[in-house]
């Protein structure tokens, strides 16, 4: 059974996508597009996951009735996770650990490659709270490196990350005038990675 689960990168990408949206049904072409995979490889992996009971096919009419905005054609074959499968919670836990590892890699990459950071805070998406930004970086930064690093994590995550970069001077000026943006970041739920300014 484990050989069927962890035999390919395509399978892991499919599982990551489905576990990020456990209540949603996806049609095959949508999965191919989302994970940037090959049609035949995706179909093969979906069949393997269906065979072990982790996925269930959903009729196209049922999908269209429940979610008309995200529906394909009536001929599309849809899949969704079987949340009552024996392996569901174990896989969910494994994928959550992988997410944590990827998040740590993002933090490390920004710390070591983004330039001379004076302040690095995670909020919003990373703390499970609503905020005006997800990442705040202050210092002498390399904008292209920051953008590329964030984009790579966005691709893995499958959703946009709102990030803000400020020079040390901009940060000081905004802080002096009691900037509403900075106030909301500092007053909201956040994790401080680097702080040489406050």
The CATH number of the domain where 79 resides is what? Answer: 1.10.10.10
Residues 82 and 105 in one domain: no
Nearest-angstrom CA–CA distance, 36 and 25: 18
- Domain stop point among 86, 110, 130: 86
Q: In what order do the strands lie in the sheet with 115-123?
A: 163-166, 135-141, 115-123, 190-195
- Domain stop point among 65, 86, 107: 86
The CATH number of the domain where 124 resides is what? Answer: 3.30.460
Q: Is residue 93 part of a domain?
A: no
Residues 135-152 pLDDT 10s? 999 999 999 999 999 999
Residue 193, H or E segment:
strand 190-195
Q: Are 180 and 103 in contact (CB under 8 A)?
A: no
pLDDT at res. 2: 47
Q: Provide the domain count of the chain.
A: 2
> Residue 117, by phi and psi: left (phi above 0), alpha (psi -120 to 50) or beta?
beta
Residue 14 domain boundaries: 2-86
Residues 125 and 60 in one domain: no
pLDDT at res. 73: 53
- Domain stop point among 53, 86, 119: 86
Q: C-alpha dihedral over 24, 29, 34, 40, to 10 degrees?
A: 120
Q: Are 86 and 48 in contact (CB under 8 A)?
A: no
Residues 47 and 104 in one domain: no
Residues 113 and 152 in one domain: yes
Q: What does each of the 198 residues of the chain score in pLDDT, given as a tens digit?
A: 444 557 788 888 899 889 988 889 999 999 999 888 899 999 999 999 999 899 998 876 555 455 555 555 556 789 999 999 988 999 899 888 888 888 999 999 999 999 999 999 999 989 988 899 999 999 999 999 999 999 999 988 878 999 999 999 999 999 999 999 999 999 999 999 999 998
pLDDT at res. 10: 87
Q: Is 103 helix (H, G, I), strand (E, B) or coil?
A: helix
Residues 30 and 79 in one domain: yes
């Amino acid at each position: 059974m484990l050989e069927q689960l962890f035999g390919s990168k395509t399978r892991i990408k499919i599982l990551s996508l489905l576990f990020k949206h456990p209540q949603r049904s996806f049609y095959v072409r949508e999965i191919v597009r989302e994970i940037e995979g090959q049609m035949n490889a995706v179909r093969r992996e979906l069949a393997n996951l269906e065979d072990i009971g982790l996925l269930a096919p959903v009729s196209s009419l049922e999908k269209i009735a429940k979610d008309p905005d995200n529906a394909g054609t009536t001929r599309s074959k849809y899949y969704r996770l079987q949340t009552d499968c024996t392996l569901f919670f174990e896989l969910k836990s494994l994928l959550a650990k992988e997410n944590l590892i990827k998040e740590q890699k993002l933090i490390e990459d920004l710390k070591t490659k983004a330039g001379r950071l004076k302040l690095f805070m995670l909020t919003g998406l990373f703390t499970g709270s609503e905020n005006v930004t997800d990442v705040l970086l202050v210092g002498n930064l390399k904008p292209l490196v920051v953008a590329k690093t964030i984009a790579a994590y966005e691709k893995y995550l499958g959703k946009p990350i709102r990030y803000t970069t400020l020079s040390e001077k901009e940060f000081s000026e905004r802080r002096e005038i009691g900037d509403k943006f900075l106030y909301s970041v500092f007053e909201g739920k956040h994790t401080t990675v680097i702080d040489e300014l406050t």
